[in-house]
Amino acid sequence: MTEETPGFEEKPDVPSGATSDDAEPKVAPTEGAAPAGDASAAAQTAGLTAQLDQVRTALGERTADLQRLQAEYQNYRRRVERDRIAVREVAIANLLTELLPVLDDIGRAREHGELVGGFKSVAESTETVAAKMGLQQFGKEGEPFDPTIHEALMHSYAPDVTETTCVAILQPGYRIGERTIRPARVAVAEPQPGAQTVKADEAETADDKESGGPDEG
C-alpha cells in the first residue's frame, strides 16, 4: 500500500511530448476590439488632416493678400499713368498758350498778304507743329454765339439775324481736345428790336394772300 505525501496534490498526467504551456487553456480574443496598430494609424491620420487644414487656411490667406497687393499695384499704375498724361497735357497747353501771339501775328500777316518768302515757310512749319501737338483753331463768322467758347468784344443789332450771331472774328479761338485754352474773340449782332414782330406780320400777310384774302363777314 503506497503512502501519500501530505501537502501535495496529484497533477494530471502530461504527455511526454507536450509542454506546460500547451497544457494551459488559451483565452480567445474579444470580438470588436481594434488592434493597437489601427488606433495609432487613425490618430496619425487625424493629426495629418488637421495639419492639412491649417496649411490650406494659411494658403488661402496668403493668396488673398497677394490678390489684394496686385490690385493695389494695378490701381497705382493707373494713377501714375493718369498723372503722367495730365502733366503732359498741362505742359503742352502752357507751351501753346505762349505760342498763341505768334500764331495771331501769322494770321494777320496772311490777311494782309505779307506771308511770303522765308517767313511763309517758317510760319507754315510753326502752324504744322502746333497742329501735331493737338492745337485746333475754331471760330467762324455766322455761327451762333456760345458764351462757353466765344468772348464778345463788340455788340450790335442787325435785322437779318434771328439769334445772337458772331458777325466778325477778331481773334480765333484755340482748343486742345475738349479743353479750350482761349475763347474766340468775336463781334456779335442781336436781332433788331421789333424785327421779330414785323417778320411775323409779314408772314401772316403772306399766308392771307395765299389763302385768297381774309374771310368776309
pLDDT at 117: 87
The CATH number, out of the four listed (2.30.22.10, 3.40.50.150, 1.20.190.20, 3.30.110.30), of the domain defined by the range 136-208: 2.30.22.10
Among all chains, which residue has been given the C-alpha cell 496772311? 110
The structural domains of the chain, with segments of one domain joined by +, span: 46-133, 136-208
- Mark the ranges of the chain whose per-residue pLDDT is less than 70: 1-37, 194-217
Q: What are phi and psi of 131, to 5 degrees?
A: -65, -40
pTM: 0.56
Cβ density class 51-71: b for 16+ within 10 Å, e for less: eeeeeeeeeeeeeeeeeeeee
Residue 150: Cβ-neighbour burial (10 angstroms; 0-12, 13-18, 19+): buried
pLDDT at 138: 95
Q: At what angle do helices 36-111 and 117-132 cross, to 10 degrees?
A: 150
pLDDT at 8: 46
pLDDT at 1: 46
Give residue-wise pLDDT tens across range 128-144: 999 999 999 999 999 99
